[in-house]
């Protein structure tokens, strides 16, 4: 008996030692002791310009050290999912990065965890004030002005890119401003092995952005309070337009049913496509590396819904989803003051321009964005940033965009056959509506 | 348990059952508790609570909802996913066995270049799953190399990565990537065949076919059965391959269990629901494992039979 008890004691002691050891490791991570504190910042890795990104990190760290005496440690994540996992573990354990750079569509999800500092006037002042930002970029900082958590860092608005030579050859003087006009142009541009439009039907994110844009322009924001409005004629028309480019208008390369966004860009860069309908400034490098070098230009996405020549009264002039990164300060952070100083530093005009020069992400700082407009190529992008509209601010949004993308994913075999039947589309929209509504019902 | 009298009887020869220094197992036990038991219990607990992004921060206070997550899982896509996963795993295993055994037999006898052949056979197995999936995804694009070649032969390839055919794509790629595992296990089994057995059958004048079916294959039964079990479990649990091949959300035809758990957990952020799905999947995987352990009695220790 006593032997057994001894065993138990030994086992328990072993367990305690191990746990204590692990806990000690955890404590070590937090660091920050001594004179100079360390601020931990989680930010998305930049695979396109890794060296420039590191150089920017080093220079901003130096500046921050000179200003505050504290150093900055950057931690990078590869994908939005990595970031979400990091947020989850940090939220549960109450330790982790002090500042997060979070993508706009992920901001409502991050907000719904309740683990980030809400910005009152005093905190906004510490961060440099609301006024320094492009007003549209504040659209997804929080559910309302009293409950904002996100401070805009960069904009990545979506735009179209078009082939200037092909459009000129087809006698088109300026890019389309309505979806119907875009279809018309694409038809004019399609001949032989040349296609009017490049669309990434197999992308995991592109499809919902099209449908959301067309729906909002037609007056349906998809989420109305706590009701999902996906089973709606306007949404159906958006899907039909999106599918129709391939099935009825035949202005898209049939191979596009297998394309992700990067593949669609690559196809456009071959120089045999008139428009590529959804991209951002980060594609510039890929475009300049292709046959379209010197022959492409950005343009605003159409802002008049399909089947109309003017926006209806309740339609919104949404040129792009509000896209980019917000900075969030963790409420478990013991360095909140430092965190806000850091946020202030990297959202200042000069720092934002430096960041743009390093990696090509557009400033959220209004003065910095204005100063960039001397570059003709960027004018439409800057406009898109100003005309960006936030997706609905609800923790359910991740599920909703997933459900909307799923409609396209499941329709691809039909697309390949040449038509997406009315009944099938209705069925898939009903599934999406159900998924979206159940996500909204669970929202707290 | 052996009783005390036999324990005393054995004392002279070594340590008794009671005296075995079981405490030496403590580090292993602690590690197992920390790494396996606690997370498992935690998963079980999470499957019973309503844990999502709203309750994550105070997850200990998340409402206890009993079996609701399980009922919701079965009401949603889980049964479909179970069917896809299980059928896919069984087909993939069944198809890899003949390849694996044939390759093992072919490389059993020494000949010039055998080492090279063996190395080549292992290539699919040593390539990271991510690389395999990326390469196949590129080849199977609607205008990819596979369809181009098929078109030259007058066959319309069609869609490999969406729709009903995606299921067979998954099976095909899994077979391509997983057969060397069966090959390895079969090869190991062949090595254990005594040389005398070959000699004896040769003396008896056995031809190659009876030699293969009556002598060699019976030796392979054990290792290959074990390989089948492990391979099936690996197929069921394979996440990287479908995820990289098809992306998320996956086409309905390849919405395997790891995919649905992943999407529920990391895109829908419903940790409670996904934990329930994971538990169901764990139970499912445990069935063949249990049947196998019972059948082969791998848990028998050297002292003899245990009940």
User: What are the residue boundaries of the structural domains of chain A, listed by start?
Assistant: 34-156+322-389, 159-318+394-442
pLDDT of B7 over the 50 cut? no
Q: Return the CATH class of domain B77-246.
A: mainly alpha
| 8 Å CB contact of B143 and A109 | no
pLDDT: is B21 or B170 the higher one?
A: B170
pLDDT: is B58 or A345 the higher one?
A: A345
pLDDT of B143 over the 80 cut? yes
**B239 and A CB contact within 8 Å:** no
Q: With bands split at pLDDT 50, 70 and 90, how would you rate the model's confidence at B21?
A: confident
- Across residues B265-285, what is the average pLDDT? 91
Which residues, given as ranges, of chain A have pLDDT below 70? 1-35
3-state secondary structure of A47: coil
Task: Supply the pLDDT for residue B3.
Answer: 47
- Across residues B127-152, what is the average pLDDT? 94
Q: H or E stretch including A284?
A: helix A284-288
pLDDT: is B32 or A46 the higher one?
A: B32
Mean pLDDT score across all residues of chain A: 89
Residue of B nearest to A414 (CA): B163
Task: Supply the pLDDT for residue A170.
Answer: 95
Chain B residues lying within 8 Å of A84, measured CB to CB: 266, 269
B146 exposure class (CB count in 10 Å sphere: 0-12, 13-18, 19+): middle
| 8 Å CB contact of A399 and B268 | yes
**A7 and B CB contact within 8 Å:** yes
Residues B207-240: tens digit of each pLDDT? 888 888 888 888 888 889 889 999 999 999 999 9
CA gap B164, A401 in Å, rounded: 24
A96: left (phi over 0), alpha (psi -120 to 50) or beta: left
Q: With bands split at pLDDT 50, 70 and 90, how would you rate the model's confidence at B13?
A: low
| 8 Å CB contact of B54 and A10 | no
Task: CATH number for A34-156+322-389: choose from 1.10.10.10, 3.30.479.30, 3.40.50.2000, 3.40.190.10.
Answer: 3.40.190.10
Q: Residues near B218 by Cβ (< 8 Å), separated by ≥ 6?
A: none
A192: left (phi over 0), alpha (psi -120 to 50) or beta: left
Tokens of A210: 């099209």
Distance from CA of A113 to the nearest CA of B (A): 5
Same topology for domains A34-156+322-389 and A159-318+394-442, yes or no? yes
pLDDT: is B208 or B145 the higher one?
A: B145
Q: With bands split at pLDDT 50, 70 and 90, how would you rate the model's confidence at B298?
A: low
Task: Supply the pLDDT for residue B300.
Answer: 47
Task: Supply the pLDDT for residue B297.
Answer: 64
Dihedral sign of CA atoms A145, A149, A153, A155 in order: negative
Contact predicate A204/B248, CB 8 Å:
yes
Task: Supply the pLDDT for residue B292.
Answer: 80
Q: Domain A159-318+394-442 is classified in which CATH homologous superfamily?
A: Periplasmic binding protein-like II (3.40.190.10)
Nearest residue to A258 (alpha-carbon basis) of A409, A429, A432 = A409
ipTM of the complex: 0.78
CA A356, A121, B55 angle in degrees (round to 5)? 85
DSSP state of B264: I
Task: Supply the pLDDT for residue A21.
Answer: 42
CA B209, B210, B212 angle in degrees (round to 5)? 65
Strand partners, A71: A38
């Amino acid at each position: 008996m006593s032997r057994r008890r001894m065993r138990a004691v030994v086992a328990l002691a072993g367990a305690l030692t191990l746990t204590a050891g692990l806990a000690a490791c955890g404590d070590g991570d937090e660091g920050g002791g001594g004179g100079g504190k360390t601020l931990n910042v989680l930010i998305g890795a930049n695979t396109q310009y890794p060296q420039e990104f590191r150089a920017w990190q080093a220079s901003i760290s130096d500046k921050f050290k000179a200003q505050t005496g504290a150093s900055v440690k950057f931690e990078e994540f590869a994908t939005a999912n990595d970031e979400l996992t990091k947020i989850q573990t940090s939220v549960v354990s109450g330790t982790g990065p002090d500042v997060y750079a979070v993508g706009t569509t992920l901001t409502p999800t991050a907000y719904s965890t309740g683990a980030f500092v809400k910005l009152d006037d005093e905190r906004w002042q510490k961060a440099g004030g609301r006024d320094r930002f492009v007003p549209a970029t504040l659209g997804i900082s929080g559910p309302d002005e009293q409950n904002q958590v996100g401070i805009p860092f960069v904009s990545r608005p979506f735009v179209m890119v078009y082939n200037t030579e092909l459009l000129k050859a087809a006698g088109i003087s300026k890019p389309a401003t309505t979806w119907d006009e875009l279809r018309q142009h694409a038809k004019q541009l399609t001949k032989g092995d040349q296609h009017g439009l490049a669309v990434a039907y197999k992308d995991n994110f592109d499809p919902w952005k099209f449908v959301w844009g067309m729906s909002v322009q037609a007056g349906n924001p998809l989420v109305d309070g706590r009701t999902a409005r996906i089973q709606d004629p306007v949404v159906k028309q958006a899907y039909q337009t999106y599918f129709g480019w391939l099935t009825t208008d035949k202005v898209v390369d049939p191979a596009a049913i297998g394309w992700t966004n990067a593949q669609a860009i690559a196809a456009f860069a071959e120089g045999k496509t008139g428009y590529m309908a959804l991209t951002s400034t980060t594609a510039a490098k890929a475009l300049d590396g292709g046959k379209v070098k010197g022959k492409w230009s950005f343009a605003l996405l159409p802002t008049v819904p399909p089947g109309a020549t003017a926006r209806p009264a309740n339609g919104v002039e949404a040129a792009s989803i509000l896209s980019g990164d917000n900075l969030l300060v963790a409420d478990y952070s013991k360095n909140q003051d430092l965190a806000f100083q850091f946020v202030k530093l990297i959202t200042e005009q000069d720092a934002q321009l430096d960041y743009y020069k390093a990696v090509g992400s557009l400033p959220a700082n209004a003065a910095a964005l204005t100063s960039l407009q001397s570059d003709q190529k960027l004018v439409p992008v800057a406009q898109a940033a100003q005309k960006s509209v936030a997706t609905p601010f609800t923790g359910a949004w991740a599920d909703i965009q997933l459900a909307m993308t799923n409609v396209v994913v499941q329709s691809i075999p039909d697309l390949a056959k040449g038509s997406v039947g009315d009944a099938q589309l209705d069925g898939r929209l009903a599934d999406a509506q159900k998924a979206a509504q159940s996500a909204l019902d669970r929202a707290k | 348990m052996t009783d005390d009298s036999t324990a005393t009887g054995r004392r002279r020869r070594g340590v008794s059952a009671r005296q075995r220094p079981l405490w030496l197992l403590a580090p292993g036990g602690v590690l197992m508790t920390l790494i396996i038991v606690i997370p498992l219990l935690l998963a079980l607990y999470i499957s019973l609570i309503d844990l999502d992004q709203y309750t994550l921060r105070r997850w200990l206070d998340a409402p206890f909802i009993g079996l609701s997550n399980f009922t919701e899982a079965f009401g949603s896509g889980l049964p479909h996913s179970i069917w896809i996963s299980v059928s896919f795993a069984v087909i993939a295993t069944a198809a890899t066995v003949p390849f694996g055994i044939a390759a093992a037999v072919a490389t059993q006898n020494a000949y010039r270049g055998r080492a090279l052949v063996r190395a080549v056979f292992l290539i699919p197995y040593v390539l990271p799953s991510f690389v395999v999936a990326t390469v196949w995804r590129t080849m199977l694009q609607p205008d990819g190399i596979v369809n181009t070649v098929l078109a030259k032969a007058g066959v319309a390839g069609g869609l490999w990565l969406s729709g009903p055919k995606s299921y067979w794509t998954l099976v095909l790629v899994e077979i391509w990537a997983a057969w060397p595992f069966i090959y390895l296990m079969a090869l190991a089994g062949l090595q254990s065949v005594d040389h005398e057995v070959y000699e004896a059958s040769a003396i008896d004048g056995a031809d190659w076919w009876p030699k293969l079916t009556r002598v060699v294959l019976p030796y392979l039964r054990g290792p290959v059965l074990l390989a089948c079990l492990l391979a099936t479990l690996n197929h069921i649990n394979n996440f990287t391959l479908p995820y990289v091949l098809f992306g998320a959300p996956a086409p309905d035809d390849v919405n395997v269990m790891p995919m649905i758990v992943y999407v529920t957990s990391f895109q829908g952020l419903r940790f409670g629901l996904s934990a329930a799905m994971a538990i169901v999947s764990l139970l499912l995987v445990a069935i063949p494992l249990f049947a196998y352990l019972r059948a082969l009695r791998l848990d028998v220790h050297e002292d003899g039979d245990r009940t």
